[in-house]
């Protein structure tokens, strides 16, 4: 075209070639960006799913801690409000004296992995991203600081009871037999009576009264902290599940949250309790035995036995862990029971 003096046509041709190259580059960049965004979206969904599992476990673990602490505080206060401390049994006196261990860890694995990878968000939902950031950078930090103070106070109190005071035998457990009888110069009954009297004297002393009331105040403070944090944990869990559902309608729904009604003790006749006796097995071949001793019902595994407290028709809960258990019936016959742990239901079929 140059030799034929068609320079203008050449320029037009060259310009067209440049435009095509630019369009090709833009298309390639767009495809690459779309691929990267898809990868980030899939990674965000994966991490959000893992975070949901951690937050859900934390919520149920917090619920157990709060219920146990609340029961401890109520018993502590009831014992202190009695009109005559001298009339209290040793169990109630121990309730006044014994601190409660509130040590627990909050799951931050997914959030820390997210930070290490330089991810600032797990979804295109800015409200959720802000909520996640606020939860881990503020709520979690605050609960750690508050509970660290409580743990330090608990450690000082426990060390004092074990190693510094000599008013009573803090290690003495009147509910079990002596492992080394030669260490004691008194009979079991004498030691129970002495421990009770000396413990009462300590509680009514100036130092003992201050220590006991300080421990109660720390328990109340812990309860307020844990309840506030549990509310934040539940809010975040609900937001995460809502976001996951918007990406996948088949995502597992929110778990059934425990209610106070699940843990209200009722009286059940021994004859009714006996219908639950038997051996039960889960899909993973875990075998548990339900047995009745006197007027109480227990669930026993390979290494432990726990009392079950009746709370409704075919409903119980493990006394020390506030773990709901529901027995399932078919044609007036017990066929299985379901355990609800950290929002996951596990069924145990009756095999004997």
CB 280 within 8 A of CB 349: yes
Count helices and strands (H / E) in the chain: 8, 8
Which DSSP string corresponds to 78-113?
A: HHHT-S-GGG--HHHHHHHH-----------HHHHH
User: In Å, what is the CA distance from 323 to each residue of 71, 73, 114, 264?
Assistant: 15, 20, 32, 12
Distance, in Å, from the CA atom of 136 to the CA atom of 121, rounded to the nearest integer, reads: 13
Distance, in Å, from the CA atom of 306 to the CA atom of 317, rounded to the nearest integer, reads: 10
Distance, in Å, from the CA atom of 37 to the CA atom of 35, rounded to the nearest integer, reads: 5
CB 63 within 8 A of CB 230: yes
CB 297 within 8 A of CB 303: no
CB 266 within 8 A of CB 312: yes
Distance, in Å, from the CA atom of 121 to the CA atom of 115, rounded to the nearest integer, reads: 9
Q: Which of 69, 60, 62, 58 is nearest to 223 (CA)?
A: 69
Give percent helix, percent strand, percent coil of the chain, each to the nearest 5: 60, 15, 25
Q: Which of 239, 237, 236, 244 is nearest to 135 (CA)?
A: 236
CA angle (153 as vertex; 196, 194 as ends), nearest 5: 10
Distance, in Å, from the CA atom of 272 to the CA atom of 235, rounded to the nearest integer, reads: 40
CB 95 within 8 A of CB 75: yes
In the 8-state DSSP scheme, what is residue 121?
A: -
Q: Which of 154, 159, 142 is nearest to 69 (CA)?
A: 154
CA angle (334 as vertex; 332, 337 as ends), nearest 5: 140
pLDDT digit of tens for each residue in the chain (352 aa)? 455 555 566 666 666 666 766 666 665 555 444 444 444 467 878 999 999 999 999 999 999 999 999 999 999 999 999 989 999 999 899 999 988 887 778 999 999 998 888 877 888 899 999 999 999 999 999 999 999 999 999 999 999 999 999 998 888 888 888 888 888 888 888 999 999 999 999 999 999 999 999 999 999 999 999 999 999 999 999 999 999 998 888 888 998 888 888 899 999 999 999 999 999 999 999 999 999 999 999 999 988 999 999 998 899 999 888 999 999 999 999 999 999 888 889 999 999 8
Query: Domains, the chain, ranges and CATH?
Result: 38-247 (no CATH), 260-350 (2.40.128)
Q: Which of 307, 238, 298, 317 is nearest to 55 (CA)?
A: 238
């Amino acid at each position: 075209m140059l030799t034929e003096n068609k320079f203008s046509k050449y320029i037009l041709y060259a310009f067209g070639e440049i435009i095509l190259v630019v369009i090709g580059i833009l298309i390639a960049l767009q495809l690459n960006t779309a691929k990267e965004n898809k990868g980030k979206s899939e990674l965000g969904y994966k991490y959000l799913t893992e975070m949901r599992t951690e937050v859900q476990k934390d919520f149920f673990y917090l619920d157990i801690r709060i219920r146990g602490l609340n029961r401890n505080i109520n018993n502590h206060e009831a014992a202190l409000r009695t009109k005559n401390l001298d009339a209290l049994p040793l169990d109630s006196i121990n309730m006044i004296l014994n601190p409660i261990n509130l040590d627990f860890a909050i799951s931050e694995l997914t959030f820390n992995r997210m930070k290490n990878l330089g991810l600032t968000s797990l979804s295109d939902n800015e409200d959720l991203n802000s909520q996640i950031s606020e939860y881990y950078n503020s709520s979690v930090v605050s609960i750690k600081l508050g509970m660290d103070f409580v743990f330090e106070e608990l450690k000082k109190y426990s060390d004092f009871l074990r190693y510094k005071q000599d008013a009573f035998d803090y290690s003495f457990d009147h509910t079990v037999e002596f492992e080394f009888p030669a260490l004691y110069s008194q009979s079991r009954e004498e030691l129970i009576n002495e421990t009770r009297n000396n413990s009462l004297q300590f509680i009514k002393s100036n130092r003992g009264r201050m220590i006991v009331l300080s421990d109660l105040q720390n328990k109340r403070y812990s309860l307020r902290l844990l309840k506030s944090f549990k509310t934040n944990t539940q809010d975040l869990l609900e937001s995460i599940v809502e976001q996951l559902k918007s990406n996948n309608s088949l995502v597992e729904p929110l778990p059934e949250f425990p209610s106070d009604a699940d843990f209200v003790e009722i009286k059940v006749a021994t004859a009714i309790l006996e219908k639950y006796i038997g051996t039960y097995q889960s899909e993973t071949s875990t075998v548990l035995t339900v047995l009745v001793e006197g007027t109480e019902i227990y669930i026993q595994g390979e290494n432990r036995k726990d009392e079950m407290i009746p709370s409704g028709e075919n409903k119980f809960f493990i006394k020390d862990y506030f773990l709901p258990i529901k027995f399932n019936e078919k044609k007036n016959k017990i066929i299985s029971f379901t355990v609800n742990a950290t929002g996951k239901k596990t069924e145990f079929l009756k095999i004997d």
